[in-house]
Structure 1
Amino acid sequence: MELSDYIRTLRKNWLVILATTLIGLAAAAGYSLTRTPMYESQAVVFVQSQGGGTAAELQQGSNFAQARITTYVSLVREPVVMNPVITELNLNSSASELAARVKSSSPLNSTLIEITVQDGDPVQAAEIANALGDSLAAAVERIDTPAGQEAPIKLTRVRDALASFEPVSPNVALNVALGVLIGLALGVGVAILRTVLDNRVRSPRDIESLTNRPLIGAIPHDPKTKERPIILQADPQNPRSEAFRALRTNLQFLEMDGGHTFVVTSSIPTEGKSTTTINLAIALADSGKRVALLDTDLRKPKVAEYLGIEGGTGLTDVLIGRARVADVLLPWGGRSLYVLPAGKIPPNPSELLGSERMQKLLEALGQEFDVVLCDAPPLLPVTDAAVLSRATSGAIMVVAVGKTTTHQLDGAFEALETVGSKVAGVVMTMVPTKGADAYTYGYGYGYGGYGVYNAEPKKTVKPKRTESRSGKTKSRGRETQPPDDPSATFDELLNPR
């Protein structure tokens, strides 16, 4: 992951990070406020040797005292010192419980012993510290004094413990700061873990890792897609409409062998392939292209429903020889766009789409139209799109951002490779326009300020036709049938005489 990926991860998961940080803050504050305040007092005891008048004797006594310091420091927390204090102050605790609240230490190269006591009562803390100093002195005198001799070591309390009314525990500020840091670190860790484990397609980089085919379009997410699926008809100035025009431009620059007949498919259902196919067909027709739109989803056809046309008779009837192409290929929207609905749902969709009649139909349409678009079923549930793609110039793969996983997309690419089909390009749909993922794509929308788009359907300017000596008309450098029967070419190819 690059630095930009980490920044995007933090932006995407800022709610998780905020939640864990607040939880850490609340836990630390709750812990601190429920703890009993502890107060601390400290008494200091001086250790000195007894006797000796010469400098050598004094030095020897000082060395002896310093050598005994470590022993006396440990002795403070022993029952021999604790029990007299418990009895004297009438404490309701055992020697081990009292020792847990007592610390003893000695500064380096000194003969001082510091006795520190923590207690919930500041006054009692001071009393215990002073009593421990006296008890330690008495215990040392008993233990270290040989029978019938003067004590070689004397302990004197040189600083009395005083009651301090500032609690040393809990340290609310420190606990809260630690709680915030721990919660923040936990939130960042969860965010990064979610990103690492997330295998959904979210950026062009995810697609580039699976295929070298170009990304030819990115359609922004529109929360009103279900209400207005044909956005180029409903709102031509919408940013989503501009995205389809950009897709149209990129598609026209694709160099494909064998013409411009494309099957539009996806990995799984509900990725927006049907709406993408229809809007792309309209955008191409608006630019003056002659476009044929075929609903080749013979399982769950949607084109007729979206375009508001009769779909009871269509492609299925043509493929089984029950209808002529001229009877079911319908013009739509006052554009140079012709739609072939799916017709009745057959029991054998894959066989029909892979038949020789289907191949001849696509060849005929490819000769008559500039672009032929086939709305096909998704690749992973059924094989229809893979079978159909062999008869087209290439497949356009629709990928829904945040929905399709990399495993699903890879499986779709493998399905096309298995049958020897070529992926013409990839179109990303449902691209977020807000949030952390929006900046990743860098597509600029909102060009309405550069001019007003004419919402009226564009009128197709048909090329002038000149009659040849054979009685046929010429258009775009090739012979076609007279305009009173524009579908004769298709029927002749499907049913050669």
Structure 2
Amino acid sequence: MILHDYLRVLRRGWWVVVLLTLLGAGAAIAASFATTPAYYARATVVVATVGDASPGDLQQGNVFAMQRTPTYADLATTATVLDRAAATLGAGTDTEDLRRSVTSVARPETAIIDIEASGSDAALVAERANAVAEALTVEAQVLDAPGVASPVQLTVVEPAAQPEVATTPRPRNNLLIGIVVGLVLGLAIVVVADALDTRIRTFADLPRSPALATLTSIPTGRARRARGVSASDARVESFRNLRANLQFGTQARGVIAVAGVTSASDAQGVARQLAAALGEIGSTVVIADVDLRSSGSRHRDRKNDATELRPGVADVLNGTSSVDEVISVASADHVYELTTGTVDPSSAQRLSTSAMRDMLDDLSARFDYVILSCPPLVERSESAVAAALAGNSLVVVESGATKRSEFLFALELLAGVRVTSISVALDHVRDLDLGGTSGQTVLAGQTAT
């Protein structure tokens, strides 16, 4: 994928990214409110030697103080020091609770000890840090040189101050982390979901096949705002492009079989609009509906269901009517139609008979183009038969609904009946997916940038 493809994926799944980003921010805010505030206070103790001494003695004393500092830091959390601190804090102070809330750390390469206290009460943590620091200055000298004056003196040089701001939670930091996590997770889900999605939305999603002659994108019917161009105008122009591709790309003449990959494709609608586009240039066109199974699941408008009561293709194939009796004028100029007619369980099987060939020969002699509106390729076997009789096939792929595996199966069915001229119309392509190729594909095997 190139940068343009990633941007198109993000445009398609922007709402997932936004939703997860908002969820991450909301979770961070909720966690901040649910977390008990924790405060932190620190008292600083310095270790030094005392007494008159020469400069050499002072140097040795400083080295000795630095060596003893880690030991005094460890003494700060012993029971002896903590008991004295608890006594200073007053009744109700538990030594073990004090041990859990106070830590003592010697700064590397110095004679400084940091007594740190944490908890949910700002005043209490400062009192605890100061109490332990004061207790350490007394007990350390007693433990270090019992019964004699200690040459080492511990002094509290920076008492702990009552903290004004809690160290945790930090709402601003939590909010930033929540937004970043939600954003990254949303982007990952959108990209991975697109990689795992097998639905065809653009020509970039189509499996490469040398059998494809021309490719045409047909936009959806939603209104466009750019340059005041309506979606209906863009859709009409796409059928004119399809007409040009069939005329000059495949030199399709005579009979063209229009079939959707699945029932999700509106192949009948594409056939009618293609017929209207051909009629615009003065070509005479007839549409024959060869979906001859009496199934209520066929993809057609309700207003067209009434026309099935009239004699049509099924009546011509079973010999009860002639072409002249069933043909009628369609709504577009130079366009005529044959409805399905009165179908029965054997009507679909008559597509493989000589009656079907005779009907196509008769129509081809009268009209410049004969368009067969076929049932879905992967669902009805007679669709491949109609395509084989036509010689030219237009496969309608519903953007966002047809899967690559279904499209490949449709090509396999057409290859089985030796259909070599196959064009593809990608129908109802959303505006953000238009041009979704690494170079706009017009003719198979060729690209135009």
- Pick one of 271, 274, 295 that aligns with 2:289: 295
Tell whether the 8 Å contact from 1:82 to 1:99 is kept in structure 2 after alignment. Answer: yes
Task: Trace 1:221-240 onto structure 2 (pairs within 5 A).
Answer: 221-222=220-221, 238-240=233-235
Cα displacement string for residues 268-320 of structure 1 (whole angstroms, at most 9, x for unaligned residues): 11311001101111221221112121111112575995497565312122222
Distance change >3 Å, CA 202–CA 74, structure 1 → 2: farther
2:379 is matched with 381
Root mean square deviation, CA, Å: 2.9
SS at match of 1:282: helix
Cα offset for 1:185? Answer: 1.4
Tell whether the 8 Å contact from 2:217 to 2:434 is kept in structure 1 after alignment. Answer: no
Tell whether the 8 Å contact from 2:317 to 2:355 is kept in structure 1 after alignment. Answer: yes
Cα distance in structure 2, aligned partners of 1:307 and 1:246: 30
- Pick one of 242, 253, 260 that aligns with 1:266: 260
2:433 is matched with 437
Cα distance in structure 1, aligned partners of 2:393 and 2:96: 80
Cα displacement string for residues 24-79 of structure 1 (whole angstroms, at most 9, x for unaligned residues): 21221222233333333221101123568344443333222212222333333343
1:125 is matched with 125
Cα distance in structure 1, aligned partners of 2:433 and 2:100: 55
Cα distance in structure 1, aligned partners of 2:7 and 2:96: 53
2:28 is matched with 28
2:37 is matched with 37
Tell whether the 8 Å contact from 1:46 to 1:111 is kept in structure 2 after alignment. Answer: yes
- Pick one of 394, 408, 423 that aligns with 1:410: 408
Q: Structure 2 stretches of 5 or more lacking a match?
A: 224-229, 441-449
TM-score, normalised relative to structure 2: 0.86
The letter of the residue matching 2:256 is F
RCO comparison, higher one (Cα < 8 Å, 6+): 2
Range with greater deviation from structure 2 (50-59 or 413-422): 50-59
Number of matched pairs? 429
1:353 is matched with 351
Tell whether the 8 Å contact from 2:310 to 2:326 is kept in structure 1 after alignment. Answer: no
Tell whether the 8 Å contact from 1:295 to 1:341 is kept in structure 2 after alignment. Answer: yes
2:242 is matched with 247
Cα distance in structure 2, aligned partners of 1:422 and 1:360: 22
Distance change >3 Å, CA 209–CA 139, structure 1 → 2: farther
Cα offset for 1:374? Answer: 0.4
Cα distance in structure 2, aligned partners of 1:385 and 1:120: 76
1:4 is matched with 4
Tell whether the 8 Å contact from 2:218 to 2:239 is kept in structure 1 after alignment. Answer: yes
Cα distance in structure 2, aligned partners of 1:128 and 1:96: 13
1:88 is matched with 88
Cα distance in structure 1, aligned partners of 2:231 and 2:90: 90
Distance change >3 Å, CA 364–CA 303, structure 1 → 2: farther
Cα distance in structure 2, aligned partners of 1:312 and 1:337: 18
2:333 is matched with 335
Cα distance in structure 2, aligned partners of 1:191 and 1:216: 27
Cα offset for 1:114? Answer: 1.5
Cα offset for 1:326? Answer: 2.1
1:321 is matched with 319
Cα offset for 1:263? Answer: 0.8
Distance change >3 Å, CA 354–CA 309, structure 1 → 2: same
What stretches of structure 1 move > 6 A for 4+ residues in a row?
none
Cα distance in structure 2, aligned partners of 1:103 and 1:334: 89
Range with greater deviation from structure 2 (104-113 or 272-281): 104-113
The letter of the residue matching 2:358 is K
More helix per residue: 2
Cα displacement string for residues 102-161 of structure 1 (whole angstroms, at most 9, x for unaligned residues): 34333332101112222333332222111111222233224322x544434321112222
Cα distance in structure 2, aligned partners of 1:208 and 1:276: 22
Cα distance in structure 1, aligned partners of 2:97 and 2:407: 66
2:444 is matched with none
Tell whether the 8 Å contact from 2:399 to 2:428 is kept in structure 1 after alignment. Answer: yes
Cα distance in structure 2, aligned partners of 1:114 and 1:58: 23
The letter of the residue matching 2:161 is L
Distance change >3 Å, CA 309–CA 85, structure 1 → 2: same
Task: Trace 1:389-404 onto structure 2 (pairs within 5 A).
Answer: 389-404=387-402
1:169 aligns with 2:165: no
Q: Percent identity?
A: 29
Range with greater deviation from structure 2 (413-422 or 395-404): 413-422
TM-score, normalised relative to structure 1: 0.78
SS at match of 1:365: helix
Q: Structure 1 stretches of 5 or more lacking a match?
A: 225-234, 444-497
Cα distance in structure 2, aligned partners of 1:149 and 1:283: 112
